[in-house]
Structure formats: structure tokens, C-alpha cells
Amino acid sequence: ANGVFGSTNSLFTKLGSSNRGAAGVTPGVDKPPGRSRLLEDFRNNRFPSLQLRDLVNHIVEFSQDQHGPRFIQQKLERATVAEKQMVFSEILAAAYNLMTDVFGNYVIQKFFEFGTPEQKTTLAQKVRGHVLPLALQMYGCRVIQRALESISPEQQEEIVRELDGHVLKCVKDQNGNHVVQKCIECVDPHALQFIINAFSGQVFALSTHPYGCRVIQRILEHCTPEQTAPILEELHRHTEQLIQDQYGNYVIQHVLEHGKPEDKSQIILSVRGKVLVLSQHKFASNVVEKCVTHATRAERAVLIEEVCSFNENALHVMMKDQ
């Protein structure tokens, strides 16, 4: 049929009978089972002028190939509305499989970036009901993150609501934690109260977790004062332990760099009287350094006075310590 893309047979005409045998197969080339001739020719650079319109009925196949997604992504950035719709209509039925595919996820992400508002809305609907498994999956988690960056606040809230009851599972997961971080960065904090609730009594455990410590820092950056207050309260109850923890020390450093003056002062108070010991600790030494950097003039004077009161042996130990 002739239409906006011209003849759908144009591609096969271009590939030409001149380089094909009687059966229409390129001589001397074995095609892997399941791979179309079109994809095989594309992979072997036999069709350098390939366009999106030439991929009719092959979009999903190309999206799941190692080399296809990059081609589709590049073309989508400058595609016409009609070309985008052609691609979109083909990927829609296979959307979930593509979201969790090592290559296909990039094509879905590109539609969240360059698709029309209607296409983004439709794709977001395909995500609904599957948010948790996607968030925990290596490629699906990337799609969820891109979606959260690209859709309306109402749709964002529909997506994050599916994580309610599964927050700690996601936070401790190597993929899910990135989704929770993106929720905190992109979604209205008032829609995220369930995350704060899930953290109640868990702040120390999460701050000493390789993924949890990152999520705690995002909360401190993006949530409301009412939401961060109980988090900070729990942090302050465990400051001395967190300072010396391989992950917890980053959370304390974050408060010293970005927190309110009263929270910084509380941490500096915990360090006072222990500067010599903490300065020789692999993780705590970083916190002591931040205390000096971010202290008020009066607080800094007290810390310096403590160092100056050390005897010669103690100062020598500090100077030699790495």
C-alpha cells in the first residue's frame, strides 16, 4: 500500500534481485534461525540508507537485537509524527517484554523522552500493575526511572502508589533502590509519605546499608522538613556508630554539608572529646574533616583547641596516620 511511508515493498526492491539467487536469498550467507533477512542485511551493513519507514512489521525484532535499538533511537530523535506513530503502534503490544529486555528497554526509554504526550500516557498505562517487578528488574528499573522523569504528576503518583508496602524490599535491592531514589527526586513529597512511614525505626539499619544510605540522602535533599525531622531524629540517636560505619559516615557527612545549623551542631557535639580516636579511624576521619570544614567559627575553635591540647605523642600519631 502507498501512504505516508511510500511502498512497503520499497525496501525489498532496493535490496534488489541483482544480488539475490533464484530463491531470493543472498548467495553464500547463512541466516541465523529466527532472524529476518532484513535484520541480517542491516547487521551486515548491506543497507546503509535504511530508514524507519523501511522497518514496518520489524520494529520489535530490531528493538530486541544488539544493534537495532541504537538505530531506532537515533531515528526517533528526528522522526516525523507519522514515523513515531508507526514505531509506537508496533512496540505497544510487546511493551512489557521490551521494558525488561537487555536491548529493548532503550527503545521504550526513548519514547518516554521523545514520544508525544499521548504516547507517554499510553506507555505509562502499560507500566501500571507491573511497577514492583519492573522496579526490581535490571532493565525494567531503568524504564520506570525514565517514565518518572517524563510523565505528569498524576501519572507519577499512580506509579509510586504501587510501591506502597514494598518500600524496604526495593530500597535494599540493587535495582529497586534506584527507582526509590528517582521517586524521591521527581515526585511531589506529599505523595511519598508512605516511604517516610516505612523508614520509621529503620533509619540506622538503612543508613548502614550500601543502597539504603543513598536513599536516606535523597530524602534529606528533597523531602519536606516535616518528613525529614523523624529521619534526622533517628540519625542523631546513632551518630557515633554511623560516623564509624563504612556507609553511615556518608549520611553524616551529607548532613554536615547540606543540613540545618542545629543538626550540624549536634553532630559536631558528638565528635567533641573524641577527635584523636576518630581522626585515626578509616571512615570517621572523613567526618571529623567535614566537622572542621562546616562548623561555625566558635565550634571550629573548640575542635582546634582539643587538637592543640594533645600531648606531643598524640600529635605525632595524628600526623603520621594516613
Q: Is residue 239 part of a domain?
A: no
Q: Is residue 5 part of a domain?
A: yes
Q: Is residue 193 part of a domain?
A: no
Q: Average pLDDT for residues 88-98, to the nearest whole number?
A: 96
% of the chain surpassing 70 pLDDT = 86
Q: 74 with 67: CB under 8 angstroms?
A: no
Cα 102 from Cα 90, distance rounded (Å): 18
DSSP 69: H
The yes-or-no verdict on residue 260 having pLDDT over 60 is yes
Q: Structural domain of residue 9, as residue ranges? A: 1-21+29-127
The dihedral over CA atoms of 112, 117, 121, 123, expressed in degrees to the nearest 10, equals -40
Q: Which of 239, 242, 256, 257 is nearest to 212 (CA)?
A: 242
Q: What is the DSSP string of 231-289?
A: HHHHHHHTHHHHHTSTTHHHHHHHHHHHS-HHHHHHHHHHHTT-HHHHHTSTTHHHHHH
pLDDT tens, 167-198? 999 999 999 999 999 999 999 999 999 999 99
Provide the pLDDT confidence category of residue 86 given band limits of 50, 70 and 90.
very high
Q: Is residue 233 part of a domain?
A: no
Q: Which of 271, 283, 281, 255 is nearest to 307 (CA)?
A: 271
The b-or-e profile of 6-22 (16+ CB within 10 A means b, else e) is eeeeebeeebeeeeeee
Q: How many residues does the chain have?
A: 322
Q: Is residue 64 part of a domain?
A: yes
Task: Decide which of 321 and 9 is more confident.
Answer: 321
Q: Which of 320, 316, 317, 293 is nearest to 304 (CA)?
A: 293
Q: Is residue 218 part of a domain?
A: no
The three-class DSSP label of residue 175 is: coil
Q: Is residue 290 part of a domain?
A: no
Structural domains in the chain (count): 1
Q: 177 with 214: CB under 8 angstroms?
A: yes
DSSP 192: G
Q: Is residue 292 part of a domain?
A: no
